[in-house]
Protein backbone atom coordinates (compact mmCIF):
# COMPACT_ATOMS: atom_id res chain seq x y z
CA UNK A 1 0.00 0.00 0.00
CA UNK A 2 1.34 3.46 -0.88
CA UNK A 3 0.81 6.78 0.80
CA UNK A 4 -2.65 8.15 0.14
CA UNK A 5 -3.20 11.33 -1.83
CA UNK A 6 -4.30 13.01 1.40
CA UNK A 7 -1.03 11.92 3.07
CA UNK A 8 1.01 13.44 0.25
CA UNK A 9 -0.90 16.74 0.24
CA UNK A 10 -0.39 17.04 4.00
CA UNK A 11 3.37 16.47 3.75
CA UNK A 12 5.52 19.45 4.86
CA UNK A 13 7.31 19.56 1.49
CA UNK A 14 4.07 20.80 -0.11
CA UNK A 15 3.14 23.29 2.64
CA UNK A 16 4.51 26.30 0.75
CA UNK A 17 2.24 25.47 -2.17
CA UNK A 18 -0.87 25.93 0.00
CA UNK A 19 -2.65 23.07 -1.83
CA UNK A 20 -6.41 23.26 -2.36
CA UNK A 21 -8.37 20.35 -3.82
CA UNK A 22 -10.46 21.67 -6.71
CA UNK A 23 -11.76 18.31 -7.96
CA UNK A 24 -12.01 14.91 -6.27
CA UNK A 25 -12.14 15.64 -2.55
CA UNK A 26 -13.87 12.27 -2.15
CA UNK A 27 -10.92 10.49 -3.80
CA UNK A 28 -8.13 11.52 -1.43
CA UNK A 29 -7.85 8.04 0.07
CA UNK A 30 -6.56 6.50 -3.14
CA UNK A 31 -2.88 5.51 -3.06
CA UNK A 32 0.00 7.41 -4.63
CA UNK A 33 2.65 5.12 -6.09
CA UNK A 34 5.12 7.84 -7.14
CA UNK A 35 5.45 11.62 -7.53
CA UNK A 36 6.43 12.91 -10.95
CA UNK A 37 6.74 16.41 -12.42
CA UNK A 38 6.46 17.39 -16.06
CA UNK A 39 5.62 20.33 -18.29
CA UNK A 40 5.00 18.07 -21.29
CA UNK A 41 1.32 17.97 -22.21
CA UNK A 42 1.67 14.58 -23.96
CA UNK A 43 2.95 12.91 -20.78
CA UNK A 44 0.23 10.30 -20.17
CA UNK A 45 1.75 7.51 -22.26
CA UNK A 46 4.94 7.70 -20.18
CA UNK A 47 3.11 7.11 -16.89
CA UNK A 48 2.26 3.73 -15.35
CA UNK A 49 -0.61 4.75 -13.10
CA UNK A 50 -0.78 5.80 -9.48
CA UNK A 51 1.42 8.89 -9.91
CA UNK A 52 0.73 12.34 -8.52
CA UNK A 53 1.70 14.61 -11.40
CA UNK A 54 3.12 18.05 -10.54
CA UNK A 55 3.07 20.78 -13.19
CA UNK A 56 3.67 24.51 -13.29
CA UNK A 57 1.12 24.76 -16.09
CA UNK A 58 3.35 26.16 -18.85
CA UNK A 59 1.91 23.84 -21.49
CA UNK A 60 -1.61 24.14 -20.09
CA UNK A 61 -1.56 27.94 -20.36
CA UNK A 62 -1.21 27.79 -24.14
CA UNK A 63 -3.43 24.76 -24.80
CA UNK A 64 -6.87 25.19 -26.36
CA UNK A 65 -9.98 23.88 -24.54
CA UNK A 66 -10.14 20.66 -26.55
CA UNK A 67 -6.49 19.85 -25.80
CA UNK A 68 -7.06 20.52 -22.10
CA UNK A 69 -9.97 18.08 -22.08
CA UNK A 70 -7.93 15.45 -23.86
CA UNK A 71 -5.07 15.99 -21.39
CA UNK A 72 -7.43 15.11 -18.56
CA UNK A 73 -8.92 12.11 -20.37
CA UNK A 74 -5.46 10.73 -21.12
CA UNK A 75 -4.32 11.07 -17.49
CA UNK A 76 -7.56 9.50 -16.27
CA UNK A 77 -7.15 6.58 -18.67
CA UNK A 78 -3.70 5.93 -17.20
CA UNK A 79 -5.28 5.93 -13.71
CA UNK A 80 -3.05 8.72 -12.46
CA UNK A 81 -3.68 9.42 -8.76
CA UNK A 82 -4.09 13.14 -9.41
CA UNK A 83 -2.58 16.27 -10.92
CA UNK A 84 -1.34 19.24 -8.89
CA UNK A 85 -1.19 22.47 -10.90
CA UNK A 86 0.74 25.54 -9.80
CA UNK A 87 -1.07 28.82 -10.44
CA UNK A 88 0.61 32.19 -10.69
CA UNK A 89 1.91 34.54 -13.35
CA UNK A 90 2.13 31.85 -16.02
CA UNK A 91 -1.28 30.33 -15.25
CA UNK A 92 -3.44 32.68 -13.12
CA UNK A 93 -6.15 30.04 -12.62
CA UNK A 94 -6.87 26.47 -13.58
CA UNK A 95 -8.93 26.53 -16.81
CA UNK A 96 -12.62 25.85 -16.38
CA UNK A 97 -12.54 23.25 -19.18
CA UNK A 98 -9.92 21.26 -17.31
CA UNK A 99 -11.93 21.40 -14.08
CA UNK A 100 -15.12 20.35 -15.86
CA UNK A 101 -13.46 17.44 -17.65
CA UNK A 102 -11.71 16.28 -14.47
CA UNK A 103 -15.02 16.27 -12.61
CA UNK A 104 -16.54 14.07 -15.31
CA UNK A 105 -13.52 11.77 -15.47
CA UNK A 106 -13.03 11.44 -11.70
CA UNK A 107 -9.47 12.80 -11.79
CA UNK A 108 -8.40 14.68 -8.63
CA UNK A 109 -7.10 18.18 -9.39
CA UNK A 110 -5.15 20.15 -6.79
CA UNK A 111 -4.28 23.84 -7.08
CA UNK A 112 -0.91 24.87 -5.72
CA UNK A 113 -1.30 28.54 -4.86
CA UNK A 114 2.36 29.02 -4.00
CA UNK A 115 5.66 28.08 -5.59
CA UNK A 116 7.23 24.84 -4.37
CA UNK A 117 10.42 23.17 -5.62
CA UNK A 118 9.05 20.13 -7.40
CA UNK A 119 12.40 18.32 -7.20
CA UNK A 120 12.42 18.55 -3.40
CA UNK A 121 8.79 17.40 -3.18
CA UNK A 122 9.50 14.39 -5.39
CA UNK A 123 12.63 13.50 -3.41
CA UNK A 124 10.81 13.72 -0.08
CA UNK A 125 7.71 11.74 -1.04
CA UNK A 126 9.45 9.18 -3.24
CA UNK A 127 12.01 8.67 -0.48
CA UNK A 128 9.21 7.69 1.89
CA UNK A 129 7.80 5.28 -0.68
CA UNK A 130 11.21 3.67 -1.27
CA UNK A 131 11.84 3.35 2.47
CA UNK A 132 8.48 1.63 2.83
CA UNK A 133 9.45 -0.82 0.09
CA UNK A 134 12.67 -1.66 1.94
CA UNK A 135 10.72 -2.21 5.16
CA UNK A 136 8.32 -4.50 3.32
CA UNK A 137 11.19 -6.59 1.97
CA UNK A 138 12.73 -6.97 5.43
CA UNK A 139 9.38 -7.80 7.00
CA UNK A 140 8.72 -10.29 4.22
CA UNK A 141 11.99 -12.07 4.92
CA UNK A 142 11.05 -12.31 8.62
CA UNK A 143 7.64 -13.79 7.74
CA UNK A 144 9.16 -16.34 5.35
CA UNK A 145 11.81 -17.38 7.90
CA UNK A 146 9.27 -17.89 10.70
CA UNK A 147 6.94 -19.93 8.47
CA UNK A 148 9.81 -22.05 7.13
CA UNK A 149 10.85 -22.96 10.65
CA UNK A 150 7.30 -24.02 11.52
CA UNK A 151 7.01 -26.07 8.33
CA UNK A 152 10.29 -27.83 9.19
CA UNK A 153 8.73 -28.85 12.51
CA UNK A 154 5.80 -30.37 10.60
CA UNK A 155 3.33 -27.61 11.38
CA UNK A 156 -0.07 -27.66 9.67
CA UNK A 157 -2.44 -24.82 8.74
CA UNK A 158 -3.38 -24.12 12.38
CA UNK A 159 0.25 -23.82 13.46
CA UNK A 160 1.11 -21.57 10.51
CA UNK A 161 -1.79 -19.26 11.31
CA UNK A 162 -0.53 -19.08 14.90
CA UNK A 163 2.84 -17.88 13.55
CA UNK A 164 1.10 -15.21 11.48
CA UNK A 165 -0.98 -14.08 14.46
CA UNK A 166 2.20 -13.61 16.51
CA UNK A 167 3.74 -11.51 13.76
CA UNK A 168 0.59 -9.44 13.28
CA UNK A 169 -1.97 -9.49 16.10
CA UNK A 170 -5.50 -9.73 14.75
CA UNK A 171 -7.80 -12.16 12.98
CA UNK A 172 -6.33 -14.65 10.50
CA UNK A 173 -8.61 -16.95 8.53
CA UNK A 174 -7.97 -19.62 5.91
CA UNK A 175 -10.99 -20.43 3.71
CA UNK A 176 -11.43 -23.25 1.24
CA UNK A 177 -12.66 -22.76 -2.33
CA UNK A 178 -16.29 -22.95 -1.16
CA UNK A 179 -15.75 -20.24 1.45
CA UNK A 180 -15.77 -22.60 4.42
CA UNK A 181 -13.24 -22.12 7.21
CA UNK A 182 -10.22 -24.44 7.17
CA UNK A 183 -8.47 -22.77 10.11
CA UNK A 184 -8.79 -19.49 11.96
CA UNK A 185 -7.38 -17.52 14.86
CA UNK A 186 -8.96 -14.49 16.52
CA UNK A 187 -12.54 -13.32 16.66
CA UNK A 188 -13.30 -13.45 12.95
CA UNK A 189 -14.03 -17.18 12.73
CA UNK A 190 -16.29 -16.74 9.73
CA UNK A 191 -15.99 -16.09 6.06
CA UNK A 192 -15.59 -12.32 5.64
CA UNK A 193 -17.47 -10.36 3.00
CA UNK A 194 -15.64 -10.03 -0.30
CA UNK A 195 -15.78 -6.23 -0.16
CA UNK A 196 -14.91 -5.85 3.53
CA UNK A 197 -11.56 -4.25 2.74
CA UNK A 198 -9.51 -6.92 4.53
CA UNK A 199 -6.20 -8.17 3.20
CA UNK A 200 -6.77 -11.39 1.26
CA UNK A 201 -4.73 -13.54 -1.10
CA UNK A 202 -5.33 -16.83 -2.94
CA UNK A 203 -3.44 -19.96 -1.96
CA UNK A 204 -2.69 -22.22 -4.92
CA UNK A 205 -1.72 -25.89 -4.76
CA UNK A 206 -0.01 -27.10 -7.93
CA UNK A 207 -1.34 -24.10 -9.84
CA UNK A 208 -4.97 -24.36 -8.73
CA UNK A 209 -6.50 -21.95 -6.24
CA UNK A 210 -7.79 -24.07 -3.36
CA UNK A 211 -7.94 -21.58 -0.49
CA UNK A 212 -7.91 -17.91 0.46
CA UNK A 213 -5.97 -16.36 3.32
CA UNK A 214 -7.73 -13.39 4.94
CA UNK A 215 -5.89 -11.11 7.37
CA UNK A 216 -7.58 -8.50 9.58
CA UNK A 217 -4.92 -6.72 11.69
CA UNK A 218 -5.84 -5.17 15.03
CA UNK A 219 -3.75 -2.18 13.97
CA UNK A 220 -4.84 -1.16 10.46
CA UNK A 221 -1.85 1.18 10.24
CA UNK A 222 0.54 -1.79 10.17
CA UNK A 223 -0.10 -2.47 6.52
CA UNK A 224 3.57 -3.29 5.86
CA UNK A 225 3.40 -6.49 7.91
CA UNK A 226 -0.04 -7.35 6.51
CA UNK A 227 1.23 -7.03 2.95
CA UNK A 228 4.36 -9.01 3.77
CA UNK A 229 2.14 -11.82 5.05
CA UNK A 230 -0.11 -11.93 1.98
CA UNK A 231 2.98 -11.93 -0.24
CA UNK A 232 4.99 -14.60 1.58
CA UNK A 233 2.50 -16.82 3.43
CA UNK A 234 0.71 -18.49 0.47
CA UNK A 235 3.72 -20.62 -0.51
CA UNK A 236 4.08 -22.06 3.02
CA UNK A 237 0.34 -22.57 3.38
CA UNK A 238 0.25 -24.38 0.03
CA UNK A 239 2.87 -26.87 1.25
CA UNK A 240 0.94 -27.35 4.49
CA UNK A 241 -2.36 -27.88 2.65
CA UNK A 242 -0.71 -30.32 0.27
CA UNK A 243 0.41 -32.35 3.29
CA UNK A 244 -2.88 -32.16 5.17
CA UNK A 245 -5.41 -32.05 2.34
CA UNK A 246 -4.14 -33.60 -0.91
CA UNK A 247 -5.85 -32.10 -4.00
CA UNK A 248 -9.26 -33.58 -4.73
CA UNK A 249 -10.16 -35.16 -8.03
CA UNK A 250 -12.02 -31.97 -9.02
CA UNK A 251 -8.97 -29.81 -8.30
CA UNK A 252 -6.69 -32.12 -10.24
CA UNK A 253 -9.14 -32.12 -13.17
CA UNK A 254 -9.27 -28.32 -13.23
CA UNK A 255 -5.49 -28.14 -13.10
CA UNK A 256 -5.16 -30.61 -15.97
CA UNK A 257 -7.69 -28.76 -18.12
CA UNK A 258 -6.02 -25.37 -17.74
CA UNK A 259 -2.61 -26.88 -18.41
CA UNK A 260 -3.84 -28.56 -21.60
CA UNK A 261 -5.89 -25.56 -22.76
CA UNK A 262 -2.82 -23.37 -22.30
CA UNK A 263 -0.79 -25.43 -24.75
CA UNK A 264 -0.59 -24.53 -28.46
CA UNK A 265 -2.74 -26.84 -30.59
CA UNK A 266 -3.60 -29.52 -28.01
CA UNK A 267 -5.07 -32.78 -29.29
CA UNK A 268 -8.88 -32.27 -29.50
CA UNK A 269 -9.74 -35.61 -27.93
CA UNK A 270 -7.39 -34.95 -25.00
CA UNK A 271 -8.79 -31.45 -24.53
CA UNK A 272 -12.42 -32.60 -24.58
CA UNK A 273 -11.72 -35.41 -22.13
CA UNK A 274 -10.01 -32.99 -19.71
CA UNK A 275 -12.85 -30.47 -20.00
CA UNK A 276 -15.51 -33.08 -19.28
CA UNK A 277 -13.51 -34.34 -16.29
CA UNK A 278 -13.51 -30.76 -14.99
CA UNK A 279 -17.30 -30.60 -15.26
CA UNK A 280 -17.61 -28.61 -18.50
CA UNK A 281 -20.13 -29.55 -21.16
CA UNK A 282 -20.05 -29.27 -24.94
CA UNK A 283 -22.48 -26.92 -26.67
CA UNK A 284 -22.09 -24.26 -23.93
CA UNK A 285 -20.61 -20.76 -24.38
CA UNK A 286 -17.31 -19.96 -22.65
CA UNK A 287 -14.77 -17.16 -22.39
CA UNK A 288 -11.16 -17.35 -21.36
CA UNK A 289 -10.02 -14.85 -18.73
CA UNK A 290 -6.42 -13.92 -17.92
CA UNK A 291 -5.60 -11.65 -15.00
CA UNK A 292 -2.32 -10.12 -13.96
CA UNK A 293 -1.50 -8.45 -10.65
CA UNK A 294 0.17 -5.02 -10.85
CA UNK A 295 0.72 -4.54 -7.10
CA UNK A 296 1.19 -7.89 -5.42
CA UNK A 297 -1.10 -10.95 -5.45
CA UNK A 298 -3.85 -9.57 -3.24
CA UNK A 299 -6.18 -8.42 -6.01
CA UNK A 300 -6.23 -11.79 -7.81
CA UNK A 301 -8.15 -13.38 -4.93
CA UNK A 302 -10.92 -10.82 -5.41
CA UNK A 303 -10.92 -11.33 -9.19
CA UNK A 304 -11.09 -15.11 -8.77
CA UNK A 305 -13.99 -14.79 -6.32
CA UNK A 306 -15.81 -12.47 -8.76
CA UNK A 307 -15.50 -15.02 -11.56
CA UNK A 308 -16.91 -17.80 -9.38
CA UNK A 309 -19.78 -15.58 -8.22
CA UNK A 310 -20.59 -14.74 -11.84
CA UNK A 311 -20.67 -18.42 -12.81
CA UNK A 312 -20.48 -21.46 -10.54
CA UNK A 313 -19.00 -23.44 -13.43
CA UNK A 314 -15.82 -21.36 -13.52
CA UNK A 315 -12.54 -23.28 -13.63
CA UNK A 316 -9.58 -21.17 -12.49
CA UNK A 317 -5.94 -21.31 -11.53
CA UNK A 318 -3.76 -18.72 -9.76
CA UNK A 319 0.00 -19.05 -10.07
CA UNK A 320 2.32 -16.24 -9.01
CA UNK A 321 1.03 -12.94 -10.33
CA UNK A 322 -1.28 -14.44 -12.98
CA UNK A 323 -4.75 -15.93 -13.02
CA UNK A 324 -6.13 -18.13 -15.80
CA UNK A 325 -9.80 -19.07 -15.94
CA UNK A 326 -12.42 -20.62 -18.16
CA UNK A 327 -15.79 -19.06 -17.42
CA UNK A 328 -19.21 -20.36 -18.42
CA UNK A 329 -21.06 -17.45 -20.01
CA UNK A 330 -24.45 -16.98 -18.38
CA UNK A 331 -27.53 -17.25 -20.59
CA UNK A 332 -28.44 -13.61 -19.84
CA UNK A 333 -24.97 -12.37 -20.87
CA UNK A 334 -24.29 -14.06 -24.16
CA UNK A 335 -23.54 -10.97 -26.17
CA UNK A 336 -20.12 -10.63 -27.75
CA UNK A 337 -18.98 -8.24 -25.03
CA UNK A 338 -20.18 -10.22 -21.96
CA UNK A 339 -21.25 -6.91 -20.43
CA UNK A 340 -22.36 -8.32 -17.06
CA UNK A 341 -19.10 -10.20 -16.54
CA UNK A 342 -17.01 -7.16 -17.45
CA UNK A 343 -19.06 -4.89 -15.20
CA UNK A 344 -18.51 -7.30 -12.30
CA UNK A 345 -14.75 -7.34 -12.91
CA UNK A 346 -14.55 -3.54 -13.04
CA UNK A 347 -16.31 -3.19 -9.69
CA UNK A 348 -14.30 -5.90 -7.94
CA UNK A 349 -12.65 -4.95 -4.66
CA UNK A 350 -9.06 -3.81 -5.29
CA UNK A 351 -9.80 -3.78 -9.04
CA UNK A 352 -7.17 -1.09 -9.61
CA UNK A 353 -4.46 -3.52 -8.46
CA UNK A 354 -5.00 -5.96 -11.32
CA UNK A 355 -5.49 -5.97 -15.07
CA UNK A 356 -7.90 -8.52 -16.53
CA UNK A 357 -8.64 -9.48 -20.13
CA UNK A 358 -11.71 -11.35 -21.37
CA UNK A 359 -11.29 -13.41 -24.52
CA UNK A 360 -13.85 -13.88 -27.30
CA UNK A 361 -16.95 -15.99 -26.66
CA UNK A 362 -16.63 -19.55 -27.99
CA UNK A 363 -19.20 -22.34 -28.09
CA UNK A 364 -18.01 -25.84 -27.42
CA UNK A 365 -14.96 -27.30 -25.76
CA UNK A 366 -12.53 -27.24 -28.68
CA UNK A 367 -12.57 -23.43 -28.65
CA UNK A 368 -11.20 -23.17 -25.09
CA UNK A 369 -7.48 -22.88 -26.04
CA UNK A 370 -8.30 -20.12 -28.53
CA UNK A 371 -10.23 -17.91 -26.12
CA UNK A 372 -7.58 -18.32 -23.41
CA UNK A 373 -4.77 -17.49 -25.82
CA UNK A 374 -6.66 -14.46 -27.15
CA UNK A 375 -7.31 -13.19 -23.62
CA UNK A 376 -3.57 -13.23 -22.93
CA UNK A 377 -2.90 -11.52 -26.28
CA UNK A 378 -5.45 -8.81 -25.46
CA UNK A 379 -3.93 -8.24 -22.02
CA UNK A 380 -0.47 -7.71 -23.53
CA UNK A 381 -1.90 -5.58 -26.34
CA UNK A 382 -3.76 -3.30 -23.92
CA UNK A 383 -0.51 -2.70 -22.05
CA UNK A 384 1.33 -1.85 -25.28
CA UNK A 385 -1.41 0.59 -26.31
CA UNK A 386 -1.49 2.29 -22.90
CA UNK A 387 -5.05 1.18 -22.13
CA UNK A 388 -5.26 1.43 -18.35
CA UNK A 389 -8.76 0.02 -17.89
CA UNK A 390 -8.92 -2.67 -15.22
CA UNK A 391 -10.84 -5.00 -17.54
CA UNK A 392 -10.40 -5.14 -21.31
CA UNK A 393 -12.51 -7.18 -23.72
CA UNK A 394 -11.38 -8.88 -26.90
CA UNK A 395 -14.56 -7.75 -28.67
CA UNK A 396 -13.64 -4.09 -28.07
CA UNK A 397 -10.20 -4.48 -29.65
CA UNK A 398 -11.04 -6.43 -32.79
CA UNK A 399 -9.33 -3.98 -35.15
CA UNK A 400 -6.31 -3.54 -32.91
CA UNK A 401 -5.89 -7.32 -32.65
CA UNK A 402 -6.04 -7.70 -36.41
CA UNK A 403 -3.59 -4.87 -37.05
CA UNK A 404 -1.09 -6.15 -34.48
CA UNK A 405 -0.87 -9.36 -36.46
CA UNK A 406 -0.12 -7.49 -39.70
CA UNK A 407 3.67 -7.43 -39.60
CA UNK A 408 4.13 -4.49 -41.98
CA UNK A 409 4.29 -1.11 -40.17
CA UNK A 410 5.06 0.76 -43.41
CA UNK A 411 1.89 -0.59 -45.00
CA UNK A 412 -0.19 0.49 -42.02
CA UNK A 413 1.38 3.96 -41.93
CA UNK A 414 0.67 4.40 -45.63
CA UNK A 415 -2.95 3.34 -45.07
CA UNK A 416 -3.41 5.92 -42.31
CA UNK A 417 -1.93 8.70 -44.43
CA UNK A 418 -4.05 7.74 -47.43
CA UNK A 419 -7.32 7.71 -45.50
CA UNK A 420 -6.71 10.54 -43.03
CA UNK A 421 -4.30 12.61 -45.11
CA UNK A 422 -6.56 15.71 -45.38
CA UNK A 423 -7.04 15.76 -41.59
CA UNK A 424 -3.34 15.25 -40.88
CA UNK A 425 -2.43 18.08 -43.25
CA UNK A 426 -4.04 20.77 -41.07
CA UNK A 427 -1.37 20.38 -38.34
CA UNK A 428 -0.69 18.01 -35.48
CA UNK A 429 -2.85 19.63 -32.80
CA UNK A 430 -5.85 20.50 -34.94
CA UNK A 431 -5.64 17.23 -36.84
CA UNK A 432 -5.52 15.24 -33.60
CA UNK A 433 -8.59 17.09 -32.30
CA UNK A 434 -10.55 16.41 -35.48
CA UNK A 435 -9.53 12.75 -35.61
CA UNK A 436 -10.43 12.33 -31.93
CA UNK A 437 -13.87 13.80 -32.67
CA UNK A 438 -14.34 11.57 -35.71
CA UNK A 439 -13.34 8.48 -33.72
CA UNK A 440 -15.87 9.17 -30.95
CA UNK A 441 -18.57 9.91 -33.55
CA UNK A 442 -17.89 6.57 -35.26
CA UNK A 443 -17.74 4.65 -31.98
CA UNK A 444 -21.17 6.07 -31.13
CA UNK A 445 -22.60 4.63 -34.35
CA UNK A 446 -22.74 8.12 -35.96
CA UNK A 447 -25.13 9.24 -33.20
CA UNK A 448 -24.39 12.95 -32.83
CA UNK A 449 -26.21 13.41 -29.53
CA UNK A 450 -24.31 10.56 -27.86
CA UNK A 451 -21.00 11.68 -29.39
CA UNK A 452 -21.44 15.24 -28.08
CA UNK A 453 -22.13 13.89 -24.61
CA UNK A 454 -19.05 11.67 -24.65
CA UNK A 455 -16.88 14.56 -25.85
CA UNK A 456 -18.43 16.89 -23.23
CA UNK A 457 -19.20 19.54 -25.86
CA UNK A 458 -22.38 21.25 -27.02
CA UNK A 459 -24.08 19.62 -29.98
CA UNK A 460 -23.56 22.75 -32.04
CA UNK A 461 -19.82 22.49 -31.40
CA UNK A 462 -19.86 18.88 -32.56
CA UNK A 463 -21.83 19.82 -35.68
CA UNK A 464 -19.23 22.46 -36.53
CA UNK A 465 -16.35 20.04 -36.10
CA UNK A 466 -18.06 17.39 -38.23
CA UNK A 467 -18.67 19.99 -40.95
CA UNK A 468 -14.94 20.75 -40.93
CA UNK A 469 -14.07 17.05 -41.03
CA UNK A 470 -16.47 16.25 -43.86
CA UNK A 471 -15.30 19.30 -45.85
CA UNK A 472 -11.68 18.17 -45.55
CA UNK A 473 -12.58 14.60 -46.50
CA UNK A 474 -14.63 15.80 -49.44
CA UNK A 475 -17.93 14.26 -48.33
CA UNK A 476 -19.97 13.00 -45.40
CA UNK A 477 -18.90 9.34 -45.22
CA UNK A 478 -21.89 8.28 -43.10
CA UNK A 479 -23.52 5.32 -44.81
CA UNK A 480 -20.84 5.14 -47.50
CA UNK A 481 -18.29 2.36 -48.18
CA UNK A 482 -15.57 4.70 -46.82
CA UNK A 483 -16.92 4.48 -43.27
CA UNK A 484 -15.20 1.22 -42.28
CA UNK A 485 -11.84 2.39 -43.62
CA UNK A 486 -12.15 5.69 -41.74
CA UNK A 487 -12.94 3.91 -38.50
CA UNK A 488 -9.96 1.58 -38.88
CA UNK A 489 -7.64 4.49 -39.70
CA UNK A 490 -8.75 6.53 -36.68
CA UNK A 491 -8.20 3.56 -34.37
CA UNK A 492 -4.73 3.02 -35.81
CA UNK A 493 -3.83 6.69 -35.42
CA UNK A 494 -5.17 7.20 -31.91
CA UNK A 495 -3.93 3.83 -30.69
CA UNK A 496 -0.37 4.72 -31.62
CA UNK A 497 0.03 1.50 -33.59
CA UNK A 498 1.75 3.43 -36.40
CA UNK A 499 3.73 6.64 -36.54
CA UNK A 500 1.42 8.93 -38.47
CA UNK A 501 3.23 12.23 -37.81
pLDDT of residue 494: 78
Q: What residues make up the domain containing 411?
A: 406-495
Q: What CATH number is associated with residue 486?
A: 1.10.10
> Are 392 and 272 in a shared domain?
yes
Residues 285 and 274: beta-carbon distance below 8 Å? no
> Are 385 and 256 in a shared domain?
yes
DSSP codes, 39-61: --TT-GGG--SSEEEEE--HHHH
> Are 291 and 316 in a shared domain?
yes
pLDDT of residue 443: 84
Residue 139 lies in a domain: no
Mean pLDDT of 446-458: 86
> Are 278 and 360 in a shared domain?
yes
Q: Tell me the pLDDT band of 334, cut-offs 50, 70 and 90.
A: low
Q: Tell me the pLDDT band of 445, cut-offs 50, 70 and 90.
A: confident
Residue 125 lies in a domain: no
Residue 124 lies in a domain: no
pLDDT of residue 197: 46
Which of 218, 244, 270 represents a domain boundary (last residue)? 244
Which of 361, 384, 401 represents a domain boundary (last residue)? 401
DSSP codes, 13-40: GGGGG--EEEE-GGGTTSEE-EEEE---
Mean pLDDT of the chain: 85
Which of 401, 429, 458 represents a domain boundary (last residue)? 401
Residues 336 and 395: beta-carbon distance below 8 Å? yes
Q: What digits encode the pLDDT tens for the residues 375-418?
A: 999 999 888 776 767 899 998 888 788 888 887 878 888 888 88
Residues 68 and 60: beta-carbon distance below 8 Å? yes
DSSP codes, 386-433: T---SEEEGGGGHHHHHHHT---HHHHHHHHHHHHHHHHTT-HHHHHH
Residue 501 lies in a domain: no
> How crowded is the C-beta side of 284, counted as CA atoms within 13 Å?
20
Residues 60 and 95: beta-carbon distance below 8 Å? yes
> Are 262 and 214 in a shared domain?
no
Q: What digits encode the pLDDT tens for the residues 118-154?
A: 999 998 898 888 877 777 788 888 888 999 999 988 8
| Distance (Å, whole) CA 19 – CA 118 | 13
> Are 277 and 312 in a shared domain?
yes
> Are 419 and 371 in a shared domain?
no
> Are 351 and 257 in a shared domain?
yes
b/e 444-455 (16+ beta carbons within 10 angstroms → b) = beeeeeebbeeb
pLDDT of residue 222: 67
> Are 279 and 374 in a shared domain?
yes
Mean pLDDT of 274-291: 92
> Are 266 and 390 in a shared domain?
yes
Residue 137 lies in a domain: no
pLDDT of residue 221: 64
Q: What digits encode the pLDDT tens for the residues 408-433?
A: 878 888 888 889 989 988 888 888 88
Q: What CATH number is associated with residue 17?
A: 3.40.1390.20
Residue 424 lies in a domain: yes
> Are 375 and 434 in a shared domain?
no
Residue 364 lies in a domain: yes
The terminus-to-terminus CA distance of the chain in angstroms comes to 40
Q: What digits encode the pLDDT tens for the residues 73-118?
A: 889 888 899 999 999 988 999 999 999 889 888 899 999 999 989 9
Share of the chain above pLDDT 90, in %: 28
pLDDT of residue 84: 95
Q: What's the pTM value of the predicted model, to 2 decimals?
A: 0.59
Q: How many domains does the chain have?
A: 4
For 443, the 3-state DSSP assignment is helix
pLDDT of residue 42: 87
> Are 233 and 328 in a shared domain?
no
Residue 131 lies in a domain: no
Q: What digits encode the pLDDT tens for the residues 155-203?
A: 888 899 999 988 888 888 888 766 678 888 875 544 444 444 467 787 8
Amino acid sequence: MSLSLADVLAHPSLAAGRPVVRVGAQLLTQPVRWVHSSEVIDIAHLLRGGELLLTAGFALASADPDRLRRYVRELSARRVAGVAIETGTQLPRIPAELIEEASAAGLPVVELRGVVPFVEVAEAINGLLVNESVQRLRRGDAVAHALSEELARGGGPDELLAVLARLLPGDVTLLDAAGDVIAALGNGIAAPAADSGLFSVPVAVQGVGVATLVVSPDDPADHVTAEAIVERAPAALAISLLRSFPPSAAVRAAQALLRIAGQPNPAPERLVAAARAAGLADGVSYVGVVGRSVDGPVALAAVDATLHRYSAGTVSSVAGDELHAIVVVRADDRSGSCAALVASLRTTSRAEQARVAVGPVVTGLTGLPGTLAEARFVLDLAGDLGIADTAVVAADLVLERLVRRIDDPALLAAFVREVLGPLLAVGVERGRRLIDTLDVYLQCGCNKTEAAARLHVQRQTLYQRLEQIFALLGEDPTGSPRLAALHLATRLYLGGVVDSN
